[in-house]
Structure 1
Amino acid sequence: MQISNANLQFAYENFQTRLQEVKNYVVFVKKLADISSPAVSEERYIEKYIDDKLNFSFNLNSLFPIQRRVVDPLQQRTETDNFNWINVLTVEPQSTRTPTRSDFACHKIDRELQKTLRASTYLLLYNLMESTMSESINAIHETIRDENRNLLELSEKLHKVILQSFSKGLTNEKVSEFSRDNADIRDRIFDLGYDKKKLFSGNIDCGVIDEYCKKYDIRISPYKIDSQPLLWNPDKIEDIRKKRNSLAHGSESFAQCGQNMPIDSIDDNLQSVEAVLMGVFNGLNNFLTRQKYLRASQ
């Protein structure tokens, strides 16, 4: 996506970084489901085993920072993982003896733990939506400040948004403060009552996203890759919100949530979240490029 607005570009880059983190986690969880007896083995035990028992020759030139990896201890050779946050250990065996589980200091990742790991994807996906929406909407406010716009230049809808935020922040205490200090409230018109961290509070779904976009007059437009639009399922987005709230408030345990969660549903949820957020960025990009936040541009 080509973005010319610096504030939106900042939000988009953060989104892409967080999205990749979630994708890495999803790949990790799916990888566990494909291994018969997954376990976590510390690298130092693998190296000791190689040195002392099997006399393996090995190459550690491609090590990454985190000193842990997921292995199947019953395999004769370790696999090269495709995660940039898990060690890659290339092993060339010089012994024909097959390693046994007792040769490794492993911590088994049992089914109960895998349920928890699956359920955690709801938290990651919801947090991705909330943080991205907050930074995306904030890009509009930052652009107005960067361009030193005054209230009278803003579109009717954005004018209303600013005044509503200001009225919420103009408490009795603030009124007394401004009066005592003989302060010019025009200096605070854009920031008083506005806090991007408080835009959303555990309630994001497609309905809330549509509501905020209409409030600013942003038109969500599906982003296309090779002429194919990225489409989302509103029911999936709503389910993510509900599951996140159930987990966050303790009304459902992670094990219970993950128990009936098909592994393929994680990809479906991820696809819907990515698609709807790309649609928001696509609409916002058009909104800012055409300066739809200004009254004169309408």
Structure 2
Amino acid sequence: MLNKQNTVAFSHDFSDLRERFEMQRDSIEKYFEFLNSIVTNVKTFKILKSTVFLLLYNLVESTVSNSLYLIHWSISEKNIRYDQLSHCLQKSYMEYFLKNQGFKNVNEIQKKKLIDFFDQYFRLEKHIVQFSYGNFVSISGNIDNKKVNEIGEIYGFKMDRGRREEELLFVKEMRNSLGHGNISFSECSKDIVIGELFRIKNEVVGYLECYLNTIENYINERRYLVCLDGE
């Protein structure tokens, strides 16, 4: 079953996910309006600018986390069987299952035998998949375009390659440097002008809007099913 500690108070409708994203995005826009109008000393302004990286990364991680929760809920709510999952999700689910059953240090020959056995067993028993995204994929503090692509390989979706991704990586790195105490808030943005922050914000928000469109199509078209995955 879905792990309650990883769930969010969703209405289980994609419109709720998009509404949450838009609320967080609008809060960031308000913060930028505040930055653009405030008159303060240089040190305080640097600290306020650095806070942007925390706000943007929180938007990134919450958007991805909430979207994965919705994917898992969609699968669990419909009582999807193992043999109905797309091929990439069957493979990912098998890895998840073996790990949770304690088969972590087996060699490749043993692993193949286990996979063959449980694959047949799940198909014969019409095994219903119930799995929490929190235990299925790790995302905390680690979301950039590379990670999104890795998640896409697990679930079977692809992002638009035309979307710029350097800013997403930069935001993650700045957030982690601040969070781990590797750099101070006053140092973090000392060489970044407000106009550059606006550009970074717009690129990250644009990337996430593209991501949400991808996930919406994935869920609505039920791309997690084997008969629709095109494999």
Displacement of 1:248 after TM fit? 0.6
Larger Rg: 1
Structure (1/2) with the larger helix percentage: 2
Q: Give the equivalent residue in structure 2 for 1:285.
A: 216
**Does the aligned pair in 1 maintain the 2:84–2:227 contact within 8 Å?**
yes
Return the alpha-carbon distance in structure 1 between the equivalents of residues 169 and 60 of structure 2. 12
Return the alpha-carbon distance in structure 2 between the equivalents of residues 196 and 272 of structure 1. 30
Which runs of 5 or more structure 1 residues have no equivalent in the other structure? Answer: 33-37, 39-108, 173-183, 223-230
Alignment of 1:145 onto 2:76: yes
Displacement of 1:113 after TM fit? 1.0
**Does the aligned pair in 2 maintain the 1:135–1:196 contact within 8 Å?**
no
Q: Give the equivalent residue in structure 2 for 1:212.
A: 151
Displacement of 1:219 after TM fit? 2.4
SS at match of 1:280: helix
**Does the aligned pair in 1 maintain the 2:76–2:131 contact within 8 Å?**
no
Displacement of 1:191 after TM fit? 2.3
**Does the aligned pair in 2 maintain the 1:233–1:272 contact within 8 Å?**
yes
**Does the aligned pair in 2 maintain the 1:7–1:143 contact within 8 Å?**
no
**Does the aligned pair in 2 maintain the 1:119–1:257 contact within 8 Å?**
yes
Return the alpha-carbon distance in structure 2 between the equivalents of residues 166 and 10 of structure 1. 30
Return the alpha-carbon distance in structure 2 between the equivalents of residues 217 and 191 of structure 1. 17
| Aligned residue runs from structure 1 range 1-298, under 5 A | 6-32=12-38, 38=39, 109-171=40-102, 189-191=129-131, 194-195=133-134, 199-221=138-160, 232-297=163-228, 298=230
Relative distance call for 1:13 and 1:163 in structure 2 (3 A) is farther
Displacement of 1:197 after TM fit? 9.9
Displacement of 1:257 after TM fit? 1.0
Relative distance call for 1:162 and 1:273 in structure 2 (3 A) is same
Letter in 2 for 1:199: S
Return the alpha-carbon distance in structure 2 between the equivalents of residues 166 and 134 of structure 1. 21
Structure (1/2) with the larger strand percentage: 1
**Does the aligned pair in 1 maintain the 2:145–2:169 contact within 8 Å?**
yes
Identity %: 26
Relative distance call for 1:151 and 1:160 in structure 2 (3 A) is same
Letter in 2 for 1:23: E
Return the alpha-carbon distance in structure 2 between the equivalents of residues 295 and 269 of structure 1. 38
Displacement of 1:112 after TM fit? 0.9
Displacement of 1:232 after TM fit? 4.2
**Does the aligned pair in 2 maintain the 1:166–1:190 contact within 8 Å?**
no
TM-score, normalised with respect to structure 1: 0.60
Letter in 1 for 2:33: V
Return the alpha-carbon distance in structure 2 between the equivalents of residues 292 and 191 of structure 1. 17
Instruction: Give the alignment's Cα RMSD to 1 decimal.
Output: 2.4
- Give deviations 1:195-220, integer Å, cap 9, x for gaps: 17963121211111122112212122
Which runs of 5 or more structure 2 residues have no equivalent in the other structure? Answer: 1-10, 104-124
**Does the aligned pair in 2 maintain the 1:134–1:196 contact within 8 Å?**
no
- The answer to which structure, 1 or 2, has the higher relative contact order (CA under 8 A, 6+ apart) is 2
Return the alpha-carbon distance in structure 2 between the equivalents of residues 31 and 132 of structure 1. 28
Q: Give the equivalent residue in structure 1 for 2:112.
A: none
